[in-house]
Chains A and B, each alone.
Chain A
Amino acid sequence: MNSAQSWIVVADDTAASGLVDLARSVGDEVVAVVAGRREVASSLASAVDRVLWLGEPDQAPVEAYGPAVAAVVAQATPRTVIGATSPGGRALLGAVAAALRVPVLAGVSALEADGDQVVVTRSVLGGIAEHRTAVQGGTTVVAVDPGGAVAGDGDLAPLEELAVTPLAATVTEVRPAAVAGADLGGARTVVGVGRGLKAREDVALVSDLAAALGGELACSRPLAEGVDWLPKERYIGISGQHIAPDLYLALGISGQLQHMVGVRGAKVIVAVNSDKNAPVFSQCDFGVVGDMYEVVPALTAALGTGS
Chain B
Amino acid sequence: MKIVVAYKWAPNPQDAVVATTGEVDLSRAKPAVSEYDPVAFELARRLADATGGEVVGLTVGGPSIDTPLSRKAALSRGLDRLVVVADAELEDADGTRIATVLAAAVRAIGDVDLVLAGDSSIDVAQGQVPLTLAGVLGWLGLAAVSAVTAADGGLVVERSLPGGTTVVAVPTPAVLAATADAVVPRVAGMKDILGAAKKPVEVLDLAALDVPAPGATLATLATAKPAGGERTATIFDGSSPAGAAAQLVGALRQAGAL
List residues of chain A with CB under 8 Å of any chain B CB. 61, 63-64, 66-67, 70, 85-87, 90-91, 93-104, 106-107, 119, 123-140, 143, 167-177, 181, 213, 221, 225-226, 232-233, 238-239, 246-247, 256-258, 260-261, 264-272, 274, 276, 279, 281-291, 294-295, 297-299, 301-303, 307
Contacts and interface: CB of A to CB of B under 8 A. Distances in A.
Contacts of B163: 174, 176-177
Given A128-B18, A130-B22, A285 B233 contact: yes
A183 to B, nearest CB: 14
A265 B226 CA distance: 10
A171 B258 CA distance: 48
Interface in B176-223: 179-181, 212-223
A261 B228 CA distance: 9
Contacts of B73: none
A258 B244 CA distance: 28
Max chain B CB contacts within 10 Å: which of A233, A287, A288? A288
B149 to A, nearest CB: 13
Q: What DSSP secondary structure best describes chain B's contact surface?
A: mixed
Interface residues of B, number: 94
B76 interface: no
Interface stretch (B53-61, B77-85, B164-172): B164-172
Q: What DSSP secondary structure best describes chain A's contact surface?
A: mixed
Contacts of B248: 270, 286, 288, 299, 302
Contacts, number: 321
B126 interface: yes
Interface stretch (B44-52, B105-113, B127-135): B127-135
Contact of A169 (B122, B123, B169): B169
Contacts of B216: 100-103, 135-140
Contacts of B94: 103
Given A97-B135, A101-B212, A175 B164 contact: yes
Contacts of B213: 101
Contacts of B234: 285-287
A98 B132 contact: yes
A294 B225 CA distance: 36
Contacts of A86: 162
A200 to B, nearest CB: 15
A160 to B, nearest CB: 23
